[in-house]
Amino acid sequence: MVLGALAVALAGLLGGLTGFGASLVGTPLLLLSGFPLPEVVVINLVTTMITRVAVLHRERDHVTWHRVAVLGAASLPGAVVGALTVHLVPPHGLRIMAGVVVVLSGVRLLTRPANRARPATAAKQAVAGLLGGYLSTTTSLNGAPPAVLLAAAKVPPRTYIADLAGYFVVTNGLSLILLTTAGEVAVGDLWSRLPVLVAAAVVGNAVGSRLVGRMPRAVFDRAIAGLILVSGVVTTVGA
């Protein structure tokens, strides 16, 4: 429990700083702390959704609402497929799949031209949302696809964080409903421990949020890419 609280606190700090890294960091740390994957999925979905509500309210003037709507709507069919098929894939298989997706995302960001922006078209948003939705209900690593999309488009840091906050609130909420409906949220006594984990995530997120805007853009971009890559490697190796 102590290790779990420290894990989500660190994940919350990085999530507050970068806008999306909480689940990417929290997943391997929670798995290494001994939490089974189904519990990790629920912990990440709940803590990220709760912390992003506060961020969404604070950064509401920087949100691109149409982009959030497209990402959120596109995530629904992917989340449905994930909720209906998650029991068909062995947990280690899901972890390897998620790790590979995250590693490829990190490599893509690190190797792209640093001075060229790629517009986040509606079609790209739909694909990112669809893939993110599937990863949401299977592994909770739903932040990588939209994070890569927005980073490649070089949207301003505060808009980046605000748009991802809106996406997480919508997608994580839908994912929790779908997993509960599909009977995939049988996590024993996790509910009694969840308030402590949520509190740790909120504290970490508050610290990270205070650092937003103080990091140079180049450092911000590289930190995001490096975070994605390292998390993907740890998740894959840990499987």
pLDDT tens for each residue of 53-98: 988 998 899 999 999 999 999 999 999 999 988 888 787 787 787 7
In degrees and rounded to multiples of 5, residue 35 shows phi and psi of -80, 135
| Contact between residue 139 and residue 95 where contact means Cβ atoms under 8 Å apart | yes
pLDDT score for 54: 87
| Contact between residue 21 and residue 230 where contact means Cβ atoms under 8 Å apart | no
Name the residue type at position 100: V
Distance CA 6, CA 98 (A): 23
pLDDT score for 199: 92
Distance CA 144, CA 104 (A): 10
Q: How distant, in Å, are the alpha carbons of 68, 106, 152, 196 from that of 205?
A: 21, 22, 24, 14
pLDDT score for 206: 86
B/e letters for 190-217, b = 16+ CB within 10 Å, e = fewer, are beebbeebbbbbbbbbeebbeebeeeee
Most distant pair of Cα atoms in the chain: their distance: 49
Nearest CA to 106 among 16, 219, 222, 13? 222
Distance CA 189, CA 120 (A): 42
pTM of this structure: 0.84
Model pLDDT for residues 4-17, shown as the tens digit of each residue: 888 898 888 877 77
| Contact between residue 22 and residue 44 where contact means Cβ atoms under 8 Å apart | yes
| Contact between residue 56 and residue 63 where contact means Cβ atoms under 8 Å apart | yes
pLDDT score for 58: 87
Enumerate residue ranges in the chain where pLDDT < 70.
Answer: 109, 112-115, 186-188, 212-217, 220-221, 224, 228, 231, 234-235, 238-239
pLDDT score for 232: 74
pLDDT score for 19: 76
